[in-house]
Amino acid sequence: MNIRIPLNKNTIGEAEKKALIKVFDSGYMTMGKVTKEFEKKFAKHLGVKHAIYVNSGSSANLLAFSAIQDNDKFKPKSVKNTFLKPGDEIIVPAVTWSTSIWPIAQTGAKAVFVDSDPDTLQMNVDAIKKAITKRTKAICMVHVLGNSGHINEVKEICKKKKIWLIEDTCESLGVKNKNKYLGTFGDIGTYSFYFSHHITTVEGGMIVTNNDYIANKIMSLRSHGWTRDMNNSSEYEKQFPDIDPRFLFVNVGYNLRSTDMNAAIGLVQLKKLEKFNQRRHEIGKYWNSEFQYLTKKKVIQPMKITRGAKASWFGFPIICQSQEIRDNLRTHLEKNGIETRPIICGNMTKQPGIKNIKYRISGKLSGADIIMDRGIFWGSSPDMTKSEVKYVVSVVNKFFA
């Protein structure tokens, strides 16, 4: 038997191909009405006011942090929040993806790392409380691997301290905590539609917010800093009547747009999101029960679901009893065709690139070290067949036999 279990499988089918070709054949391929429709349907699905489509989850994060920067001379007086100045601090978990961190440095702010719990893999709430200083302007909660961070507790902290709450939900699209979608609790939520994520547009990302000012600023930052895509563009046009409104620039922007072709794929995939997530949930639940005997013996601990959440496993992360077991299990799985990877980037502060940014570590990162040294995950793609799901169990069981 020659079975291969990749980290992710292609979920793009005939309907997506047809939708893509339709846009291609229309001759209008850049960002336009299909993107608008995708944004509208995505916002409706999650129950938020604004959704803004971009070319990756990393771009979504860059725009989220740029949107809270103190760099807009035209900000209405009615906007009362405290915006980010160089040297201000943003609290992040040590276990996260690199581009949850680099955009913080790109705004001139300092990333403050707190520990992640090896059981749920989410950022530790007590560590967050201890990391807050007068310079803290935001908490970036990263919902890790299809699970939920302790979002209600962190939302309370942000409310009390009057600081921004950004939810990097790139790994947990469609996951709910107490019946509310992750990414919609805070001021800004970000999502990734990279190939391996809960739904895909090949590359792509989305930013959601209920804040009109932030939404408009992001729409401007996404496209060169111009006003053209902003819902309140007329307010700027009135102020600068001598400038052609089609080429009126008010922000220090980027070009992080995607295309209508990618959005067309997204519209089809969005319809499949709940079905995909249910399947990921079932696969995770099944493996959890099959490996309970190993959990009882404490040789492995699969990711524990955060209270209040219904997980949609992005993969199946486990923490092994020792680094030696993890390393040997990895070799065994790979030899048997099951692709594996580390848990995200491990402890981000151990990555060499961190030397290029300003950062601070608050408290100990011993949980993050455990996740890095003893953690591993394999894929839980919604398209996995029953026999593939069972094959993983037999390979793992053989290792521990």
Ligand X SMILES: Cc1ncc(COP(=O)(O)O)c(C=O)c1O
- Does position 192 bind ligand X by CB under 6 A? yes
- Does position 142 bind ligand X by CB under 6 A? yes
- Does position 312 bind ligand X by CB under 6 A? no
Piece in contact with ligand X (CB under 6 A), picked from 46-54, 57-65, 222-230, 287-295: 57-65
Compare residues 205 and 395 and give the one whose CB is closer to ligand X. 205
Taking residues 193 to 212 in sequence order and writing x for each that binds ligand X by CB under 6 A, - otherwise, the string is -x----------x-------
Compare residues 164 and 236 and give the one whose CB is closer to ligand X. 164
Residue 72: CB atoms within 10 Å? 17
Range 73-132, binding ligand X (CB under 6 A): 96-97, 99-100
| Beta-strand pair 180-181/176-177 | antiparallel
Q: CB of residue 203 vs ligand X: minimum separation in angstroms?
A: 6
Determine the Cα–Cα distance for residues 401 and 397; give it in Å rounded to an integer.
Answer: 6
In the block, tokens 């079905």 appear at 275
- How many residues sit in the footprint of ligand X (CB under 6 A)? 15
Per the CB < 8 A criterion, the answer to whether 206 and 212 are in contact is no
Determine the Cα–Cα distance for residues 270 and 198; give it in Å rounded to an integer.
Answer: 9
User: Pick from 39, 115, 168, 388: which binds ligand X (CB under 6 A)?
Assistant: 168
User: Pick from 16, 171, 260, 388: which binds ligand X (CB under 6 A)?
Assistant: 171
Piece in contact with ligand X (CB under 6 A), picked from 54-62, 106-114, 252-260, 322-330: 54-62
Q: CB of residue 305 vs ligand X: minimum separation in angstroms?
A: 18
- Does position 213 bind ligand X by CB under 6 A? no
Per the CB < 8 A criterion, the answer to whether 186 and 180 are in contact is no
Per the CB < 8 A criterion, the answer to whether 47 and 184 are in contact is yes
Determine the Cα–Cα distance for residues 367 and 135; give it in Å rounded to an integer.
Answer: 25
Catalytic residues: 197
Determine the Cα–Cα distance for residues 98 and 21; give it in Å rounded to an integer.
Answer: 34
Q: In sequence order, what are the residues at sequence separation of 6 or more whose Cβ sits closer than 8 angstroms to the Cβ of residue 33?
A: 260
* Residue ranges in contact with ligand X by CB under 6 A: 56-58, 61, 96-97, 99-100, 142, 168, 170-171, 192, 194, 205
